[in-house]
Amino acid sequence: MAGKVEIKHKGKVSAIAPEGVYVEILNKSMCAECHARALCSLGDEQIKTVLIKYCDKSQYETGEEVEVVMRQTLGLKAVMFSYVNPLIILMILLLSLPSLGINELVSALFAILAVALYYLVLYLCRDRIAKNFIFTITKLNNN
């Protein structure tokens, strides 16, 4: 596929601050569009606020509808950080520690502790990691 693939979400400018533009995005699950979602309770909607640091703040107004854009590769990177890497850590420890003669219960507890430690390291490095995830915004054409 030629060109950049981007992930786009519509949102509203909630605030303009010295550090950037805050945009609220309505995050819908896949089943949020389903007509039976009220009966199912699996569909959820959340409002997420994203800070757009690198933009011309003077072009936007509070309440204005915009589109938040992120490169798809960054979305895949986020999935790796949050889901794939912890799963790999968990599986390696769960499969290798018992073969070393360690009790299965101790192996499971150690694997869970290792994943918790991984998430703690991610949390401590959040500012450094956040520098790689750059969002941009564009104005929506309101016809």
Note whether 122 and 41 are within 8 A (CB): no
Average pLDDT over residues 124-142: 82
Strand order in the sheet with 6-17: 45-52, 20-28, 6-17, 65-71, 136-139
Percent of the chain topping pLDDT 70: 81
Question: What are residue 23's DSSP bridge partners?
Answer: 13, 50
Mind listing the pLDDT tens digit for each residue in 89-102?
Answer: 999 999 999 999 99
Confidence of residue 135 (pLDDT cuts 50, 70, 90): confident
Q: How much is the pLDDT for 30?
A: 54
Coil vs helix vs strand at 10:
strand
Q: How much is the pLDDT for 1?
A: 45
pLDDT value at 105 more than 90: yes
Note whether 90 and 118 are within 8 A (CB): no
pTM of the model: 0.62
